[in-house]
Amino acid sequence: MSLTLGAAVARPGEITYGEFDLVEHPLGGSDRLPVILAQGRQDGPTFWLTAGIHGVEHAGIQVIHKLITPELARDLRGTIVAIPALNPAGLRTMQRLAYYHDGDPNRLFPDGKPRKPPDPDKEPPSALELAYVRLFEQIQKTASYYFDLHCAGTGSVSFVFRDRVLYRKDEDEAKNKAEAEALDARLAEMCAAYGHSVVCEFPVERYLDEKLHRSTTSAAINIAHIPALTAELGTGHMPDPNIVRASVTGLRNVLRWADMLPGNPEPITGIKVVDPGFPCRHRGVARVPQSCIVHHLVEPGDVVQVGDPLVEMRDIWGRSAGEGVLRSENEGWVIGRTHGIVFYPTQATVWMAIRDEGAMVAPYPDDYFKE
Ligand SMILES: [Zn+2]
């Protein structure tokens, strides 16, 4: 069960600590990832658990602190590899992004395409991307499961994002498809074991457009071929203790599902868990046709039917504006409000989980590996 990551070395029955070199600073010093290894006395799977790739999303750090205890290490079969701060620059400055990479750090993981020779007219990968490539090599080498902790909007419901599973249409297409379907079935089980609400990521075309296939968990699923989920733990900058607790419980249940912890699943309490009875994907809705002030008529977690009122539009003096009320065009449930109440035309005012009709398992587009 020898396992090392950076300077951290796992020891059976213990929690050990260390750091993984990330990015060297030009003025000396460096950003390093804090690494926690919790290893049981019995051999078993390796479960990766990370948080803080977006610097304003803090709940996951607390979840890792509360999950990993000496009692857990005592009962554990296998090893947990935890990194509570994937983006130290963002966390230190309380910014979503790292100041040394121009873009979303959660779109930097490998996409499976063959490496191309460098093009002097294109920006080469940033120091952060190169560091995440090194980190992903370790994930690919050691991980049996992966869970990445995030936060969504202020006051939003705790949920997991279920990624789409992609497969290659090469000479092994039938085998690739069968493996993708088996992996997707494992994802469904992992969602059920965690026990929070479930939202599917965008349908495949938009998923690729948004580079979501280069997120931590999509790379784990589609490149490392292991079950992985992204958890969204409500408010980022002011973690809700109920969500933190329910996430710790959910993760312990996932570890049980993975046969890494003994005992029966514990109930998830203290948070809203929404199951409308059909799969849902997310969408920004109730887009205002005119500039206005919005009064929300729904709360996070509310189940919504077509035609239900979502928001009321007023002018700054408080008078009804335009059509007055915007009604839902979809059935589903409310993940959260979008931030603020002051909106320009076309802006979404509610973030909803709506019925998902897209395939969870789909082939890569024909030109994907040629681009
Ligand atoms: Zn995030």
Ligand 1 centre to CA of 59 (Å) is 11
| CA distances, 221 to each of 66, 201, 299, 322, 353 (Å) | 26, 13, 33, 46, 22
- Residue given tokens 């599917």 in the structure block: 200
Ligand 1 centre to CA of 232 (Å) is 7
Interatomic CA distance for residues 218 and 220, integer angstroms: 5
Q: What is the pLDDT along the chain (371 residues), one digit of tens a residue?
A: 799 999 999 999 999 999 999 999 999 999 999 999 999 999 999 999 999 999 999 999 999 999 999 999 999 999 999 999 999 999 999 999 999 999 999 999 999 998 888 899 999 999 999 999 999 999 999 999 999 999 999 999 999 999 999 999 999 999 999 999 999 999 999 999 999 999 999 988 989 999 999 999 999 999 999 999 999 999 999 999 999 999 999 999 999 999 999 999 999 999 999 999 999 999 999 999 999 999 999 999 999 999 999 999 999 999 999 999 999 999 999 999 999 999 999 999 999 999 999 999 999 999 898 86
pLDDT at 186: 98
Ligand 1 centre to CA of 307 (Å) is 31
Ligand 1 centre to CA of 103 (Å) is 13
- Given 3-state DSSP classes, what are the helix, strand and coil percentages for the chain, each rounded to the nearest 5? 25, 30, 45
Ligand 1 centre to CA of 102 (Å) is 16
pLDDT at 118: 86
DSSP annotation of 214 reads G
Interatomic CA distance for residues 321 and 176, integer angstroms: 54
Ligand 1 centre to CA of 121 (Å) is 31
Ligand 1 centre to CA of 318 (Å) is 35
Report the predicted TM-score, pTM, of the whole model to 2 decimal places: 0.96
pLDDT at 370: 81
Tokens of 269: 């309490």
Ligand 1 centre to CA of 14 (Å) is 30
Ligand 1 centre to CA of 60 (Å) is 10
Ligand 1 centre to CA of 57 (Å) is 6
Ligand 1 centre to CA of 155 (Å) is 15
Ligand 1 centre to CA of 201 (Å) is 13
Interatomic CA distance for residues 156 and 336, integer angstroms: 4
pLDDT at 1: 72
Is residue 132 within 8 A of residue 105, CB to CB? The reply is yes
Ligand 1 centre to CA of 150 (Å) is 4
Ligand 1 centre to CA of 105 (Å) is 9
